[in-house]
Amino acid sequence: MAVMKAARYVAEYLVRQGVTHVFEMAGGAIAHLLDALAEREDIAAVSMHHEQAAAFAAEGYARASGKVGVAMATSGPGALNLVTGIGSCYFDSVPCVFLTGQVNTYEFKFDDPVRQNGFQETDIVSVVRPLTKYAAMVADASRLRFELEKAWAIAQSGRPGPVLLDIPMNVQRAEIDPERMEGFSEAEEAEAVLPTVPEDEVGRAAAMLREAARPMVLVGGGVRQAGATEELRAWLARAGIPAVCSLMGLDAVETDYEWNLGLIGSYGHRYANLALANCDCLLVLGSRLDTRQTGTRPETFAREASVIHVDIDEAELGRKVQADMAIRGHLKPFLSRLAAEWERRPQLGGGSAWKNWLALCRRKYPTGAAAAVGIRGAKEEQGEIDPNRLMERLGEAIGADAIVCLDVGQHQMWASQSLPVRGEARLLNAGGMGAMGFGLPAAIGAAFAVPGRRIALVAGDGGMQVNIQELQTIVHWRLPIAVFVLNNRSLGMVRQFQDLYFGGRQASTVSGYSCPDFAKVAEAYGIAGLRAASWSELEELLKSLSAAEGPVVAEIAISAGAAVHPKLGVGRPIEDMEPLLDREELRRSMIVPLLEEP
């Protein structure tokens, strides 16, 4: 490889890693990098309208494709605007490489005590270090190859996550000879390769599940990150063990799996939480068991179960919930070996008494529309649109191969409770960061990652406004994304909290808050805008949607007082959700002893 400009080497390196799109917003400090991308036909720079959106788009690209996502921003305000998206990737273990421009090294203050030396100079490496697996300034052009290779290896190794390289302008325009530059040796400095889970540990885990009367599997987001969905589904089909899912693990198990009980936690199904509370052996796969899953009293979570916790991150093992067996390792080989163990000694997980009890709970305590109406049928679909039934209907209309991106708010919980996952369908949830505005740019990233797949966004009126400018990106690139905006004319998640704990004072969620006519906004961008405020209008909307070519924004009106039910209150164990059951009924619904009132 001949001597070349450093910025061209960066573009060449990205192409060699299989990157097809880089999400960015232009700025002077990345002008050399943008020019290098523009010279090539095998990679495209996708110009977003805010750097936060570029970061979320890179995350959506990575999550939909299974490859590394890349976002780029200029120095100062551009780099700082990436931070929310960087944090989202860090908390949700998404491999992304973030490239930021920086002032020339001779303008950077380094250890000088002044606040700033160069224009738009900001020490972004220090800012993001707590939110990345690795962050460094490439202050010497001769180190560019090493740092790129190191960043790429770290982003994907172990527990995946984001890295950031800050590249000053004089480094970008420097002439380099890649063949004479030092490469990164994974053997010397990369994360140590995790040991294979020993046969005896897999055998012990299998034995614990077989011997249990009430076994349960908790599927976390780590299953998807490990590329182990196929192995999990095959093993569950063979073993017949009941499963529940964290928010991030929802699309790893098909809705049609007979013993998939769905979402647990703060906004999970009552029957799923009851199942978890009453199991006697729990296999946790790739979940950090955060408070949204365990409730605020983690010591009461699966309190009479033997817990087998499998995770790639040793720091997470047994941290919130004590593990009887903690296994550090990759989930894909673990599940493959667990399936082989089951082939050797076939046995269905759990007896008929346990599964009959689970089936009864599911019938007795349904979620959403079924809870209100008691049956499915025509009578239900009259009057105001029920959000849970709406999600079921959207799932039917979108199809089994769609990638559905969810923004953050009440709509996210309704979708996570009730949107079906079948076949290759994906559900991209914002987990640990939980940032409003995630959904639209994530959908854009997913559309570039897997062209030809159906892409849908479900957003609320509040979250939609955070990055609404990216509708122009959809128009510019002619992306066929279907956007569903559930409009209850409030910031509903916080409003529901205010109704419970602040006497209904709805400061800044209803009072002081407003939203536009989203259909008209869509039309202003040149996108078809549709509306529905009743079931009959919704059916007409869905017919129009199926006939539409190109992007569509569908605004769906729901009740201003709509709430997510059930909900786990502060200080209550996971099985004791609001609206609270009569104490005697709750006692009868438990297999393990009922706890005292908090």
- Model confidence at 378, pLDDT cuts 50, 70, 90, reads very low
Mean of the pLDDT values across residues 414-442?
A: 95
The answer to whether residue 374 scores a pLDDT higher than 50 is no
The answer to pTM > 0.85 is: yes
- Would you place residue 194 in the very low, low, confident or very high pLDDT band (cuts 50, 70, 90)? low
Rounded to whole angstroms, the Cα distance separating 173 from 228 reads 42
Domains and CATH numbers, the chain: 4-189 (3.40.50.970), 199-364 (3.40.50.1220), 381-557 (3.40.50.970)
- DSSP E strands in 408-535: the ranges are 426-428, 455-460, 481-487, 528-532
Structure tokens at 129: 């270090």
Segment 25-42 mean pLDDT = 97
Provide the residue count of the chain. 598
Q: Are 118 and 103 in contact (CB under 8 A)?
A: yes
> CA-to-CA distance for 86 and 19, rounded, in angstroms?
18
Query: Tell me: the pLDDT tens digits for 470-510?
Result: 999 999 999 999 999 999 999 999 999 999 889 989 999 99
Q: Dig out the tokens for 106 from the structure.
A: 């001779």
Q: Give the pLDDT confidence score for residue 198 in this predicted structure.
A: 80
Q: Cβ of 47: how many Cβ atoms within 10 Å?
A: 16
What is the H or E stretch that residue 294 is in? helix 291-294
- Binned at pLDDT 50, 70 and 90, residue 193 comes out as low
CA distance 367 to 565: 7
The answer to whether the beta carbons of residues 255 and 244 sit under 8 Å apart is no
Contact call for residues 209 and 270 (beta carbons, < 8 A): no
- pLDDT tens for 105-156 read 888 888 888 888 888 889 999 999 999 999 999 999 999 999 999 999 999 9
User: Does residue 340 register a pLDDT over 70?
Assistant: yes
CA–CA separation, 198 vs 213, rounded Å?
26
Amino acid 546: pLDDT: 77
* Number of other residues whose CB lies within 10 A of the CB of residue 167: 28
Copy the structure tokens of residue 36: 């290098």
pLDDT at residue number 373: 46
Share of the chain above pLDDT 70, in %: 95
Q: In this predicted structure, what is the pLDDT of residue 196?
A: 72
Residue 545's pLDDT band, with cuts at 50, 70 and 90, is confident
CA–CA separation, 352 vs 359, rounded Å? 10
pLDDT in tens, 381-416: 667 899 999 999 999 998 888 999 999 999 999 999
pLDDT at residue 190, rounded to an integer: 47
**Is 70 exceeded by the pLDDT of residue 588?**
yes
On the question of pLDDT at 252 being above 50, the answer is yes
The share of the chain scoring above pLDDT 90, in percent, equals 83
pLDDT at 377 over 50: no
